[in-house]
């Protein structure tokens, strides 16, 4: 089946009360890992590419790899989503390329670091909604800013500095008509999110619940949702890496989010850790090897394992069959 609308996938998830993982990719092996995990668990899937990923893989390579995924895994409803679009122009270029969903992250200025004004955010988001919906393409927006800048997106700090204001979130959805809304509840991108295991106090679940009550039909998105598992950190450190002790977002907290309107859960770091650990292990244990397949295969397998586990934990496993894709031109008519 062709690439599908993210709005359709998230509407289904809302009906079924489950969440859908959105996994970042930069290359063929990562796409293969996700598609294999989706097939094994019979899951619909969101594959997302950042601006960095698009430039690393040269856009058209990435797009054609995604077309190959839809040909080889026809039973899997698959979304291609732009992660953290920084301007209407970046979003437009993704729409033109064939992405079925885009994020306009107007919570930050185009530099991806500086928190913007409410008015700026509304202005850029509305522009993208108009262009995207005309083509049946989904729009995710963001209000409030995540912490951390280690991967180039975020306002810096611990993630507590720019939490989403629920009243503003409600107004923002009225002002922009976005399909999905990323909110800041204390998470940040990258491996170094928390210095101790976070509890209900550290992650602002009360803010999330308040937002969901105000905008129950808007799909909420949790960015920075890697759990940064200890066993994946340990493999890296055991084989010559040097990660400092750190904690991510516990899966149980994400599951509470899913019960309260979270439909899209962004995970990148966990897969980076899994692949890097597997590669380090091969290179350290068998230093005589030099065929990239010798370490890329275990790396792909390690990522597949993490993704499959998350698909089960988020509740999307088994749901691929229940989705009959609506062509984007039909979705465009529904928006109109």
Task: Point out the residues that are catalytic.
Answer: 83
Look at the block and give the residue holding tokens 């107007």.
Answer: 106
The distance of closest approach from Cβ of residue 121 to ligand 13P in the complex, given in angstroms and rounded to an integer, is 17
Check residue 188 and report its DSSP letter.
Answer: B
Chain contacts with ligand G3H (rule: CB under 6 A): 24, 50, 52-53, 83-84, 151-153, 189, 268
Contact in structure between 133 and 332 (CB atoms under 8 Å): yes
CB of 164 to ligand G3H, least distance (A): 17
Answer whether 20's CB lies under 8 Å from 316's CB.
yes
| In the complex, least distance from residue 189 CB atom to ligand G3H, rounded to whole angstroms | 5
Report how far Cα 287 is from the mean position of its chain's Cα atoms: 35
Residues at the interface with ligand 13P (CB under 6 A): 24, 83-84, 189-190, 223-226, 266-269
Nearer to ligand G3H, 24 or 276 (CB): 24
Q: Which does 36 bind (CB under 5 to 8 A by kind): ligand G3H, Zn ion, ligand 13P, none?
A: none
**Of 54, 223, 280, 300, which one interacts with Zn ion (CB under 5 A)?**
223
Least spacing, CB of residue 53 vs ligand G3H, in Å? 5
Question: DSSP class of residue 327?
Answer: P
Nearest alpha-carbon partner for 163 in 177, 184, 190: 184
**Alpha-carbon distance values, 286 to 219, 295, 302 (Å):** 47, 10, 18
Judged by beta carbon distances under 5 to 8 A according to partner kind, the member of ligand G3H, Zn ion, ligand 13P, none in contact with residue 53 is ligand G3H
Position 263 contacts Zn ion (CB under 5 A)? no
Cβ 225 vs Cβ 264: under 8 Å: no
What are the tokens at 42?
């019979």
Q: What is the largest CA-CA distance in the chain?
A: 61
Q: Which does 152 bind (CB under 5 to 8 A by kind): Zn ion, ligand G3H, ligand 13P, none?
A: ligand G3H
The residues of the shown chain that bind Zn ion, judged by CB under 5 A, are 223, 266
């Amino acid at each position: 089946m062709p690439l599908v609308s993210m709005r359709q996938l998230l509407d289904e998830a809302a009906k079924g009360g489950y969440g859908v993982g959105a996994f970042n990719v930069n290359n063929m092996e990562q796409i293969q890992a996700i598609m294999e995990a989706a097939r094994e668990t019979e899951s619909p899937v969101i594959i997302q590419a950042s601006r960095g990923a698009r430039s690393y893989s040269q856009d058209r390579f990435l797009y054609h790899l995604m077309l190959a995924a839809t040909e080889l895994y026809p039973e899997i409803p698959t979304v291609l989503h732009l992660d953290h679009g920084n301007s209407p122009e970046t979003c437009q270029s993704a729409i033109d390329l064939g992405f079925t969903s885009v994020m306009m992250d107007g919570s930050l200025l185009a530099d991806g670091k500086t928190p913007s004004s409410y008015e700026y955010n509304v202005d850029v988001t509305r522009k993208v909604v108009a262009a995207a919906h005309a083509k049946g393409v989904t729009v995710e927006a963001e209000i409030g800013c995540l912490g951390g800048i280690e991967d180039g997106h975020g306002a810096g700090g611990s993630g507590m500095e720019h939490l989403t204001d629920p009243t503003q979130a409600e107004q923002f959805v009225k002002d922009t008509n976005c399909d999905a809304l990323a909110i800041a509840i204390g998470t940040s991108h990258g491996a170094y999110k928390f210095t101790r295991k976070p509890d209900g106090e550290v992650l602002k679940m009360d803010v999330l619940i308040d937002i969901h009550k105000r905008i129950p039909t808007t799909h909420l998105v949790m960015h920075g949702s890697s759990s940064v598992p200890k066993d994946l950190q340990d493999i890296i450190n055991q084989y010559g890496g040097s990660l400092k002790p750190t904690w991510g977002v516990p899966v149980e907290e994400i599951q509470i989010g899913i019960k309260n309107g979270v439909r899209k859960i962004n995970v990148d770091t966990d897969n980076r850790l899994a692949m890097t650990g597997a590669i380090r292990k091969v290179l350290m244990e068998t230093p005589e090897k030099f065929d990239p397949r010798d370490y890329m295969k275990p790396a792909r397998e390690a990522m597949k394992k993490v993704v499959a586990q998350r698909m089960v934990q988020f509740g999307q496993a088994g749901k691929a069959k229940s989705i009959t894709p609506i062509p984007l031109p039909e979705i465009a008519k529904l928006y109109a």
